[in-house]
Structure 1
Amino acid sequence: MFHHPDLPIADLPWMRASGSGFASLGEAFATPTNPTPLPAAHWVGCNEALRNELALPDDLWQQQEALELFTGNRLVANQPTYASVYSGHQFGQWAGQLGDGRALNLGSVQTPSGLQELQLKGAGPTPYSRRGDGRAVLRSSIREFLASEAMHGLGIPTTRALCVTGSPAHVRREEVETAAVVTRVAPSFVRFGHFEHFASNGQIEELRALADHLVTAHFPALQDKQGAERYVALLHEVTQRTAVLMAQWQAVGFCHGVMNTDNMSILGLTLDYGPFQYLDGFDANHICNHSDHQGRYAYARQPQIAYWNLFCLGQALMPLIDEQAPALAALESYKQAFPEAMDQRMRNKLGLSGAHEGDRALVEDLLQALQQDRVDYTVFWRRLSIAVLESAHNTHAFEPVRDIFLHREVFDAWCARYLERLGAANRQATGDAMLRTNPKYILRNHLGELAIRQAKAGNFAMVQDLLQVLHAPFDEHPTYEAWAGLAPEWASSIEISCSS
């Protein structure tokens, strides 16, 4: 059912790897699975910047073999594709065995930044598809392609996206759509759920092999540690990375939408872009996933959910750690790491140097003011940055910021406190630093929707244009100034769900 031995073989030297990636652990981890071909493949989006970073051929986008490879219509000599098995908690409930239901790893490539795994999302059914078709649609594929690179442009750890290919083949979701495949790139796609799988099935040696592989491949500073100490250190490192990632999400106003344990990266990367959203009007209780009826993954709850997920990972590692106390200590470090990381990011956004006792209250009062008036989160921070920059020579510099509040007296009172805290700082230098911290461009839902509508009509220009702007979100792009404006009223009617 899952194998197509008649798929043509491509001899692509750049796809030959050392064999030391995840697949080297064996078939308990990586199940050989061939992709299912799609007809009439075509390019939808090509990430030239990432192609260059990976040192892939200059003419990659002109190679028919590459187009067929990234669509799942061709195999690579000596590089079997595979799907991996994992389990996990979904919406707080144990879901049991899951796995790569529509993702296939092409293998690893050696790049200037080290070994990177290439993965096709949407290349057909796998042994873990659970009655699904293993496909992705054009709509969701464009969203993931752009979101991955938008996060990278913002400096937030993430999986990357090399390209999207499309096909006229039909895929049924809420309606009939066309198929697409995203080629994702990451040092590793291992999730919390991989550990949960082997622990829940009593496969302790496999659990140990997975942990040791990750230490060797991705946490070399821990290699000298032995026994339980190694696995406690691994848990601590993942906890620290996750805490920092959550602070980065919250600071930029990013909502993931489906923070199940099988969507949490062991490397602290943003993983699996489904019903994600960047906040328009600020609402701490915003739920971006139309399927999340209980609001479990609302924006303000993300840091606590990450902490809960880390406890699931800690429980999975207990067969290797034995004693509860050191595992708890590793997990409890989140309680210090997250607020420290969050405080630092908010001080950076405000252009504040050093740490003062009243800084957290200043931030909390600001967020309450933004919440009260549903002020556009990105526009506010960008205007504030410009106001600080211009305030040294313009006494009305803060008027454009004040104008986006309904309760202007609330902003006035807060701004007076803020300027007192800012003190005699070099406003030019501070404003410049804030402009490099607070992006002008984010992947707003309506921008993605407009790109998708054009793509469905066969025009992929906006996909490529958005990609270029999102790679440099702190810069000025005069041609695309409208993309930095407030979201239109119709944007609030866009519904995104787990099928997105």
Structure 2
Amino acid sequence: MSDAPVLGTRFADELPEMGVSWQAAEPPKPELLVLNEPLAVELGLDVEWLRSAAGIRFLAGVDVPDGAKPVAQAYAGHQFGGYSPRLGDGRALLLGEIGGRDLHLKGSGRTPFARGGDGLAAVGPMLREYVVSEAMHALGIPTTRSLAVIGTGKSILRENLAPGAVLVRVAASHLRVGSFQYARATGDADLLRRLADHAVDRHYPDVPPPGDGDRHLRFFEGVVERQADLIARWMLAGFVHGVMNTDNMTISGETIDYGPCAFMEAFDPATVFSSIDEGGRYAYGNQPAIAQWNLARLAEALLPLFDDDQERAIEKATTALGGFRGRYAAATVAGFRGKLGLIGTADDAAVTALVEDLLGLLRAEGSDFTSFFRTLSRGGADGAFADWAKRWRDLDPDTAAMDRVNPFYIPRNHLVEEALAAATEGDLAPLHALLDAIADPFTERPGLARFAEQAPPDFGTYRTFCGT
């Protein structure tokens, strides 16, 4: 495998207790369905080689470079509020690190963490993750990236019989809140400390060095800040993750695990897309509170590292966690300043009041959350919004600046479903058309009007599935 890249083994070497050495299942007929060439170049990979038979086998995890140490990672997690002490990569595999980032597979076969599942994935959900994660990247929202989707040549049974696929994912790392829950549950204090130090070294270079008594508290504060900023960006984009379990929250601050995710159209805080979220736990409007709840679980796992005295450790954790709300509020106000073209033109109180009234109107009118701001920048707010729009104009907004932060194109749900249905039947043209539109979301382009339109009335209530 002389053309294969060198894969780092840092996670496998430094944290052997946090994974199981494993090998991807060999697909009967691997086929490259889509390759993210710009990302491949960014990672220093040879695009032509990746498209070759040898490259495809590498991407599928079948032929790994000499010295690589693929592992199925271990983690615990709260799933819909219920704790599971042993989850882990049931159908996934960390191949190694490249360019300082993880190269990871989904749908690559059963592992010891499979919990009765078949370890496989259908082409539709894997392409959904490819589309939505690349849309999030184009919107400037921290996210894992999709390098490729490989068809396996094997049909699997989900809601119906569907062609199988493997997603090749790139991430700053796959360390999750659930990783720390797992380490804490082992009772191994040294493992917990090594895991925290590993995370600090990879993601938080400004945290004090080993020996500083506040090192791990500063680390936790950093995670709180990044997650507050991330969730604010989700909310500003109308993004609904759908399954915010603690094993789906990264330590790096990236969005991860695009299962039953979708972008909201008609504004409603109660919006839920996931077929399994019957109680609305992970509804759009609940996402900030759920993020803070998840971070509280991280704090619980890290308590022994904050202070030898448990009461002092809890006090420190509580104070650090309390910073989430202020950070989230500040990020939200700053984001809405951009969306409304009000950078530096009004105080925070005036902007906050304007935003609160706007959201109330959007909900009452069932307005499309994405297109409203582009329409507003062109003077299109009237009717129920007329009085509100006058207040907004009185603050002297910069409408040209609005179009630089408010997308014209997002992966609208009916278009995603159209592309996935066609791809399942072997037609990738709609997928590539959608990917082209969302790659440059802020620039209106001729011939792409349908990618900015809301779902037709007959699209009905939208439900998504995680694909497991």
TM range (shorter): over 0.9
In structure 1, stretches of 5+ residues that fail to align are: 1-9, 388-396, 403-407
Q: Is the 8 A contact 1:34 1:80 kept in 2?
A: no
Q: How does 1:437-476 map to 2 (within 5 A)?
A: 437-476=405-444
Q: Is the 8 A contact 1:159 1:186 kept in 2?
A: yes
1:494 aligns with 2:462: yes
1:346 aligns with 2:336: yes
For residues 96 and 251 of structure 2, the distance between their equivalents in structure 1, rounded to whole angstroms, comes to 19
1:324 deviates by 1.9
TM-score (norm 1): 0.89
Residue in structure 2 matching 1:270, options 249, 252, 255: 255
| Code of the aligned partner of 1:253 | G
CA RMSD of aligned residues (A): 1.5
C-alpha distance after superposition, 1:427-480 (max 9, x if no partner): xxx222111100001011111111111112211122222222222111123222
Secondary structure of the equivalent of 1:55?
A: coil
Distance 1:225 1:328, change over 3 A: farther
1:240 aligns with 2:225: yes
1:96 aligns with 2:102: no
Match for residue 43 of structure 2?
A: 54
Q: How does 1:90-489 map to 2 (within 5 A)?
A: 90-110=79-99, 115-224=100-209, 226-322=211-307, 323-354=313-344, 355-356=346-347, 357-385=349-377, 387=378, 397-398=379-380, 401-402=381-382, 408=383, 410-422=384-396, 430-489=398-457
| Code of the aligned partner of 2:48 | D
| Code of the aligned partner of 2:62 | N
Give identity over the alignment, percent.
38
C-alpha distance after superposition, 1:303-328 (max 9, x if no partner): 00000000000000001113222221
For residues 27 and 195 of structure 1, the distance between their equivalents in structure 2, rounded to whole angstroms, comes to 14
For residues 204 and 322 of structure 2, the distance between their equivalents in structure 1, rounded to whole angstroms, comes to 20
1:415 deviates by 0.8
Q: Is the 8 A contact 1:46 1:464 kept in 2?
A: no
For residues 11 and 209 of structure 1, the distance between their equivalents in structure 2, rounded to whole angstroms, comes to 34
Match for residue 310 of structure 2?
A: none
1:492 deviates by 3.1
Deviating beyond 4 angstroms after TM superposition, the runs of 4 or more aligned structure 1 residues are none
For residues 55 and 457 of structure 2, the distance between their equivalents in structure 1, rounded to whole angstroms, comes to 41
Q: Is the 8 A contact 1:36 1:124 kept in 2?
A: yes
Match for residue 80 of structure 1?
A: 69
For residues 39 and 438 of structure 2, the distance between their equivalents in structure 1, rounded to whole angstroms, comes to 13
1:106 deviates by 1.2
For residues 135 and 25 of structure 2, the distance between their equivalents in structure 1, rounded to whole angstroms, comes to 29
| Code of the aligned partner of 1:336 | G
Q: Is the 8 A contact 2:15 2:194 kept in 1?
A: no
For residues 353 and 217 of structure 1, the distance between their equivalents in structure 2, rounded to whole angstroms, comes to 34
1:296 deviates by 0.4
Distance 1:293 1:485, change over 3 A: same
1:377 deviates by 0.8
1:68 aligns with 2:79: no
| Code of the aligned partner of 2:263 | Y
C-alpha distance after superposition, 1:200-251 (max 9, x if no partner): 2212111100001111222111142535411100000000000000100000
Aligned length: 461
In structure 2, stretches of 5+ residues that fail to align are: 308-312
